[in-house]
Amino acid sequence: MLKKIFSIKLLGGLFIASLFLWPFYGGNLWNSSFFKDKKDEFNSETVQMVKGESDSKVSPNEESLLTKHSFPLAAYVPVKKTQAPELDVFRAHASIILDADSGTILYYKNGKDERQIASLTKIMTAVLVVENIKDLDKEAITIDEEAVYADGTKIGCPSSGNCISTRLRIGETISARSLLKAMLMNSANDSAIALGKHIAGTQEKFAQMMNDKAKELGLKNSHFCTASGLEIDGRENECYSSAYDIARIAAFSMRYKVIWDTFKIPDTAIYSMDGKISHDIMNTNRLLNEMPECLGTKTGFTPLAGKSLMLAAEDSTKKHKIIAVVLNDPYMWEDAREMANWAFKTHVWQ
Tens of pLDDT along 52-93? 333 334 443 333 344 434 566 778 999 999 999 999 999 999
Does 95 reside within a domain?
no
Does 248 reside within a domain?
yes
Rounded to two decimals, what is the model's pTM? 0.81
On the 0-12 / 13-18 / 19+ scale of CB atoms within 10 A, 41 is exposed
Checking if the pLDDT of 341 tops 60, the result is yes
Residues 332, 33: Cα–Cα separation, whole Å: 39
Phi, psi of 35 (to 5 degrees): -110, 15
Mark whether 314 and 175 lie in a shared domain: yes
Mark whether 34 and 131 lie in a shared domain: no
Angle between helices 122-132 and 176-186 (to 10 degrees): 160
3-state secondary structure of 268: strand
DSSP element (H, E) containing 53: none
Does 59 reside within a domain?
no
Does 109 reside within a domain?
no
Render pLDDT for 126-159 as a digit per residue (tens, 0 to 9). Answer: 999 999 999 999 999 999 999 999 999 999 998 7
Contact 143, 169 (CB under 8 A): yes
Domain count, the chain: 2
Residues 246, 299: Cα–Cα separation, whole Å: 12
Mark whether 36 and 167 lie in a shared domain: no
Range of 26's domain? 1-42
Checking if the pLDDT of 19 tops 70, the result is no
CA 236 remoteness from chain centre: 21
Checking if the pLDDT of 192 tops 90, the result is yes
Checking if the pLDDT of 104 tops 80, the result is yes
Mark whether 184 and 299 lie in a shared domain: yes
Residues 144, 311: Cα–Cα separation, whole Å: 32
Mean pLDDT of 167-179: 99
Does 276 reside within a domain?
yes
Mark whether 35 and 147 lie in a shared domain: no
Helices (H), the chain: 2-21, 36-42, 122-132, 145-148, 176-186, 189-200, 203-216, 243-253, 257-263, 332-346
Mark whether 142 and 268 lie in a shared domain: yes
Does 87 reside within a domain?
no
Does 313 reside within a domain?
yes
Mean pLDDT of 224-241: 97
Residues 217, 214: Cα–Cα separation, whole Å: 5
Angle at 290 between CA 289 and CA 295, to 5 degrees: 70
Q: CB-side exposure of 63: number of CA atoms within 13 Å? A: 17
Provide the mean pLDDT of the chain: 85
Mean pLDDT of 160-173: 91
Query: Quick one: what percent of the chain has pLDDT higher than 70?
Result: 79
List residues with catalytic annotation.
Answer: 119, 122, 187
Residues 278, 269: Cα–Cα separation, whole Å: 7
Mark whether 222 and 336 lie in a shared domain: yes
Kindly report the CATH number assigned to the domain that includes residue 266.
Answer: 3.40.710.10
Higher-scoring residue by pLDDT: 220, 1: 220
Mark whether 136 and 222 lie in a shared domain: yes
Angle between helices 189-200 and 176-186 (to 10 degrees): 140
Long-range pairs for 235-241: beta carbons < 8 A, 24 or more residues apart: 236/116, 236/304, 239/116, 240/114, 240/115, 240/116, 240/117, 241/114, 241/115, 241/117, 241/120, 241/121
Mark whether 188 and 287 lie in a shared domain: yes
Q: For residue 229, what are the CA distances in angstroms to 59, 107, 180, 246, 314?
A: 29, 25, 15, 12, 27
pLDDT value for 44: 25
Mark whether 28 and 177 lie in a shared domain: no
Render pLDDT for 275-333 as a digit per residue (tens, 0 to 9). Answer: 999 999 999 999 999 999 999 999 999 999 999 999 999 999 999 999 999 999 999 99
Does 167 reside within a domain?
yes
CA 311 remoteness from chain centre: 9
Checking if the pLDDT of 20 tops 70, the result is no
Q: For residue 32, what are the CA distances in angstroms to 29, 51, 62?
A: 5, 17, 27
At position 20, the amino acid (one-letter code) is F
Mark whether 192 and 334 lie in a shared domain: yes
pLDDT value for 72: 64
Mark whether 221 and 329 lie in a shared domain: yes
Query: Quick one: what percent of the chain has pLDDT higher than 90?
Result: 76
Residues 179, 156: Cα–Cα separation, whole Å: 12
pLDDT value for 71: 65
Checking if the pLDDT of 9 tops 50, the result is no
